[in-house]
Chains A and B, each alone.
Chain A
């Protein structure tokens, strides 16, 4: 069964609104969670890495004020896309792991901004 739960799986919102995506590890403590974005027919792109209780580390070119990441507990991280625009429409995926274990992925969130 799924070890990482991501919610919602699909969201459609209007331009200018904010969208929050949740990522939960179900049966392990996720010391590190990762957020990715994937455009159609392209590879996963790491957006940021978050460690529980500390600020997220963002990849170059990712605006931290636009993509707010909170990792307040060992089982929950959230990504908030603030003031979403159509170009933010994408497939957002989280992953989580405990130390050096393999990554487990959430099932992704398909965001469509109209």
Chain B
């Protein structure tokens, strides 16, 4: 079982829809969490950090559930430009800090 798991998708939704992704992590030593987006043939870019209390940035809302060990990303009023792969990233610290990537969830927004 992978340490960080995501539904690979693809999610194909109409413009204006609300879409949500989950990401589960298995190591309870995980400390910090992020969502990145990656466009085709480009490098990942930070979308938002995920805080324990949940946080919102415009149409994007991220939440963390430590008890169930998952994070989520909600996109409201989706735009065509939201089409990308969304990567869940977990930073854990045991003997050393380590960044773990999920394999990504592909999102396609259709007109």
For the A-B complex, the count of residue pairs with Cβ-Cβ distances under 8 Å equals: 42
What is the size, in residues, of chain B's interface with A at 8 Å between Cβ atoms? 22
Interfacial chain B residues near A100, Cβ < 8 Å: 31-32, 91, 97
| Dominant secondary structure of chain A at its interface with chain B | strand
Convert B75-102 into 0s and 1s, putting 1 for each residue whose CB lies closer than 8 angstroms to a CB of A: 0000000000001010100001111011
Answer yes or no: A44 CB below 8 A from chain B CBs.
yes
| Dominant secondary structure of chain B at its interface with chain A | strand
Interfacial chain A residues near B43, Cβ < 8 Å: 6, 93, 105-108
Give residues in B with beta carbon < 8 Å to A: 31-32, 34, 36, 41-46, 49, 87, 89, 91, 96-99, 101-104
Give residues in A with beta carbon < 8 Å to B: 6, 32, 34, 43-44, 46, 49, 57, 91, 93, 95, 100, 102-108, 110
